[in-house]
Structure formats: structure tokens, C-alpha cells
Amino acid sequence: MSFIEIVLVIINFAGALAVFLFGMKLMSEGLQKFAGNKMRAIMGKVTGSPLRGILTGAAVTTVIQSSSATTVMVVSFVNAGLLTLAGAIAVIMGANIGTTVTAWIITLFGLGESSSMFSLPMLLGAAALVFMFTKRDRLRAIGEFVMGLALLLVGMGLLQKAMPNLEQYPDFLEALAQLSAYGFWSILIFIVVGALLTCLVQASAAMMAITLVMCYNGWIGLDAAVALVMGQNIGTTITANIAAMVANTAGKRAARAHLVFNVVGVLLTLIVYRPVLNLIANMTTSMVGSNPYTPVGAEGYAPEAIPMALSLFHTFFNVACTLVLAWFIPLIVRIVNWLVKDKPEDEEYVYKLKYISSWMNTAEINMKAAEREIAEFSKRVLRMYTFLPTLRTAKSDEEFEETLERIEKYEDITDRMEMEISEYLTRIAEGDLSHQGSQRISAMLCVVDNLESIGDTIYQIAATRKNKREEAVHFDQHLNDNLEHMTQLVQHSLDIMDANLRMDYDLISLAPAEEAEEEINKYRDELRDQHLDALKHGEYGFAIGNAYSSLYALYEKLGDYVINVSEAIVVKFK
């Protein structure tokens, strides 16, 4: 084979693989858009029940057709505190089962000449759905799913054609034969090769497709194919572990759990390797009438036998490992807790986004991560607000300056959080979103802007307190009591806002927030009337009056930003 021929083979193969991966991506995104918020809700309701977690992982992976994506999603949810580590392990186990659907789609519909008979008509019909119903999100999503499935099948056909006929290259066939001639060591070699190739491709489904085509074309036998699949199960864990590099300790543990589960599953399977393959061979023979160990070209050989046997093994391997290891989830938790140690640190002044550290191709998951980050933003703002009373009660300049410095640091943090979360939301908005998704992004941008304004207003209150102290302006007990009551009213309003940001946005009621805002405005009006009357009767001078009116006005202004947050969610998010 000349150099040019080699280059052409590589280009054709890469192009076919690109069509396959694009089809899978389109199919996945179409189903996710059709499911909408249900995907996020399903994942969010996983509790301590291993069975529920396994079923959820299997269902989600069946929909999005990527165990790697599901596991990265799980890492994000654990990182966000939405899943316990035990729950995450159960979901990961289910994800390994869900990913077997891909192999069956390819085996039943993507190999041989049959796929071309209906893949192009499917593509035509799907394209009609997409372009005819551009404004109907659910019909368009169905069209995208069907189009993705059609392109996946087209990609499989192209992969088959891109594979060169190895009969013309006896040296390569001899090398493969030698690699398979080392008995048990050959199995280990192919496991390592499968893991490394999956790490490089970053898509176990694509590697499964390549393996099935190699089997169908007679490149490799069942033993080598099975070993490659086991290696792929290990290699696919690298995606989640890469995503977890910037996650917190809980997220790192979830990623390590995926690796531990898959490695232990491979080790257990190697113990019963030969009996399992004999069972798979007998099942395949009864289903297709051909033994997968029949040599190429021999009597009774059928090209679909090994792909069928491989799909059976893939399903058996993942289901059996889950059924066995599900009983040992507490032990896996202890192992990963030992592998990833806790790293306690004072994070009060350490600025680091906690929940949007990794990017998913799934808009719903990205939005959920943004919601969690916004809730953390709210937590920072409420913590910042609690520093204000100390500015009034500080018994020394040192205590006052220390508190003021804390507020200044928090104000800087809120500025940066607002900028980074807004950039993240803008990035999501640049993708293909439904109308509802666009509305939700708009609502969250409004929330983030108002949270940053709350931080600014708290800083302005602190700066007013600083000027008052420097100018030796002193309030009597009556004025201090009035401001203390206003502080408590705003605190109540902030608590309602924070609770709203930590619950399902669709369940928020605006009434409590409106009542709290009404109380603030009503009390502001009372203070203003009293203030004007006090100035008229000369009860205090201009300096005291100016500082006093500035403070209660700032608290009322802060309350306006607080109600804006809840209104943005209720009005725009629904």
C-alpha cells in the first residue's frame, strides 16, 4: 500500500467516523430537547435507593446515548450537592447498562446492506420535519432525533466501506494473528489497546462501532473483540476523571468510583472469562444459526455472528457486573473516600466557581449547574449582609476596619461571580435552545445582575457607615432602633429570595416576596415622614439627618433588588 493510499484510507475512515459521531450527537440532542426539563428532574430525584439510581442511569444513558456524558453529568450533580456519592455510583452502574443500546442499534440495523435501504428515506423524512416545523419545538426535536439515527446508520455504512480489504494485505493479517496467539496475555493486550484507543477517541460508542465493523469484516475474532470491549469500559472513565480535575472532592470521588467499578468489573469477568464466552457462543448459535468461533470462509460462517455475540456479551457484562457490585456500593464508597482525601480549607475569601467548572453539551445540565451557582451567589450575598450590624456595634476602629475589609472582599467576589456566571449563561444562549430555554436564560441573567446590585448596595451601606464614623456622627437610640428594624425587614426579604433560589423555580410563589417588599416600602415611608417632621422641629442636625436618610433609603433600595430576583424567576422563567 502506497503512502497516498494509506492517507486516503485514513481520511475516508475519519470522515465516516465523523458522520457516525455527528449522527449520535444529533440523535442525543433531539431526545434531550424533546424530554426538556424532565431529564433534569429525573436525575435530580435520585435518592439513596440503588435500584432507582441504576434505573435512572440506564434510562438517561439510553436517551443521550453516551455513558461518558451521563458520568460527567453525575460528577456535576455530585459537585453541586444534588447527588450523594452512593447515589452517583448507582447511576454510573445504570449508565453502563444504558450504553449497551448503542451496540444493539448498530448490530441490528447498522451492519450489512440493510441499513442503506431505510437510512436515507429516514434522513429525508426527518429533514422535512425539521424544516417544516421550525417553530414547534417538540416536532423539531423528534425530527432531529430521527435525522441523527439516520446519519448514525449512514456513518456505519461508510465505516464498513472505509475499512480496507485485509485479504490484500497479508502482512497486517499475520500481525493480527500473532497478536492473538498469546492466549490469556493476548486478552490483556487487547484490553489495554481498547482502553487506550477509547481514551484517545473519547467516545466508547465510536470504539464499539469500529470494533463491530472489524468483527463483521473478519479482521478480529470474538476473543479479541470481547477484550477490546472490556478495555473500552475502562477507557471511557477517563472523560469523567478529566471533568473532575476541576471539581470539588465529592465530584472527584464520583469520577474515581466510575473507574473503580469498571476496573473491578473487568477483573471479575476475567475470572469466568471462558465459561461466559462459551455461554455467549451457544446463545449466538441458537439465534443466528452460526457459531461466532467459525473461521472466516469456513462452512457455516456468517459475518453477523461475531457482532451479535459481541452485543450479547456487552449487555451480559454490564448487567452482570451491576447485579453483583450493586451490593457493594458502601464498600466502593469507602474505597474512593480513601483514594480521594478531604482537603479542608477556609474558602471564605477563596474565589472559585463551584458548580460550572465543567461544560456539557447538554443545555439542560448546563442551566442546572448555573442555577446551583446562582444559589451559591445568593449564599455569598446573604453572608455579606450579616457583616453590616458589626459596623454599628464595633467597639474599636480595628474591629470596624476588619469588618469593612471583609465587606470589600465580598463585594469584589460578587463582581467576579456576576461576570463569570453571565458569561457562562451567554455561552449557553449561543447554542440551539428552545423558546422556553431562552426565557430561562434571560431570567437567570436578570437574577445574576440583581444579586450583584445587592452586593453593591451592601457595600454602599458600609461606605455610608464609614463616612458617618469618620465625621463623628452619632445616632440616638431611637434612630438606631429604627434602622435595626429596617435591617430585620430586609433580612426577611433576603431569606425569602434565597429560599426561592434553592427550590425548583417552577414551584416558586411570588406572594411572600411581595409581602416582604411591601413591608419594607411601608416602613421606609414611615421613617421618611418621621425624618421630615424631626428636621422641621430641629430634633437633630443636617449631618445626622443626611446620614440617617441615606441609610434607610439604601436599605429600601436593597429591598427593590431583592424583589427583582424573585420577579425575574416567576415572570420570565415560567
Measured N-to-C along each axis, helices 204-216 and 184-201 cross at an angle, to the nearest 10 degrees, of 130
Give the dihedral of Cα atoms 412, 415, 419, 420; nearest 10 deg. Answer: 50
Please give, one letter per residue, the 3-state secondary structure of 401-443: HHHHHHHHHHHHHHHHHHHHHHHHHHHHHCCCCCHHHHHHHHH
Higher pLDDT, 471 or 21: 471
Q: Report the alpha-carbon distance of residue 40 to residue 36 in Å, rounded.
A: 8
Sign of CA pseudo-dihedral 178, 180, 185, 191: positive
- Average pLDDT, integer, range 233-252: 73
Q: Report the alpha-carbon distance of residue 383 to residue 364 in Å, rounded.
A: 29
Indicate the burial class of 331 (C-beta count within 10 angstroms; 0-12, 13-18, 19 or more): exposed
Specify which of 18-27, 424-433, 538-547 reaches the highest per-range mean pLDDT. 538-547
pLDDT per residue over 380-394, tens digit each? 999 999 999 998 888
pTM: 0.55
Q: Report the alpha-carbon distance of residue 109 to residue 558 in Å, rounded.
A: 61
Higher pLDDT, 205 or 399: 399
Give the percent of the chain with pLDDT over 70. 72
The gap from C-alpha 348 to its chain's centroid, in whole angstroms, comes to: 25
Q: Any idea which of 8-17, 517-526, 554-563 has the lowest mean pLDDT?
A: 8-17
Q: Report the alpha-carbon distance of residue 446 to residue 565 in Å, rounded.
A: 7
Q: Is residue 521 very low, low, confident or very high in pLDDT (cuts 50, 70, 90)?
A: very high
pLDDT per residue over 311-352, tens digit each? 899 899 889 999 999 899 889 989 988 888 765 544 555 556
Q: Any idea which of 136-145, 326-335, 405-414, 554-563 has the lowest mean pLDDT?
A: 136-145
Beta-carbon contacts of residue 406 (< 8 Å; ≥ 6 apart): 387
> Which amino acid belongs to residue 207?
M
Radius of gyration of the chain (CA): 31
Give the dihedral of Cα atoms 203, 207, 210, 216; nearest 10 deg. Answer: -130
pLDDT per residue over 140-169, tens digit each? 777 777 777 677 667 766 665 666 554 555
- Cell numbers standing for residue 19: 458522520
Could you say which DSSP state residue 345 is in? Answer: -
29 has a pLDDT exceeding 90: no
